[in-house]
């Protein structure tokens, strides 16, 4: 299990600071830095929920979308040997590289 929290479609990462004896995190997938912390899992979860609510309200006031916009394109770095194999597989299937990668991503997130 990954150290994350999910609330109202937002994902919060979780970290431990042994020096400060605190759990802390940030909301992932937003354009702004939004953090939260707590001394227990219950406190951290409550702080995350409050951070999400506050961030949604702030975005509504500012008239902006809370989640990062996605353009539909991104760069991926992979080893050159894997790149060659993917190109070959796409050719064998009669697909473009983009079509094969999209199909693989759709399968992974389904």
DSSP assignments along 42-57, one per residue: HHHHHHHHHHHHHHHH
Which tens digit of pLDDT belongs to each residue from 12-55? Answer: 999 999 999 999 999 999 999 999 999 999 999 999 999 999 99
Closest CA relative to residue 15, chosen from 44, 43, 42: 44
pLDDT tier at 75 (50, 70, 90 boundaries)?
very high
Q: Which sequence spans correspond to the domains of the chain?
A: 4-62, 80-109
């Amino acid at each position: 299990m990954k150290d994350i929290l999910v609330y109202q479609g937002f994902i919060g990462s979780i970290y431990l600071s042994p020096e400060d004896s605190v759990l802390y995190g940030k909301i992932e997938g937003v354009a702004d830095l939004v953090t939260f912390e707590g001394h227990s899992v219950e406190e951290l979860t409550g702080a995350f929920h409050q951070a999400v609510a506050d961030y949604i309200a702030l975005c509504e006031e500012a008239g902006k979308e809370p989640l990062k916009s996605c353009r539909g394109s991104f760069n991926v770095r992979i080893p050159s040997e894997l790149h060659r194999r993917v190109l070959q597989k796409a050719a064998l299937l009669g697909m473009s590289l983009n079509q094969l990668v999209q199909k693989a991503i759709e399968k992974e997130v389904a």
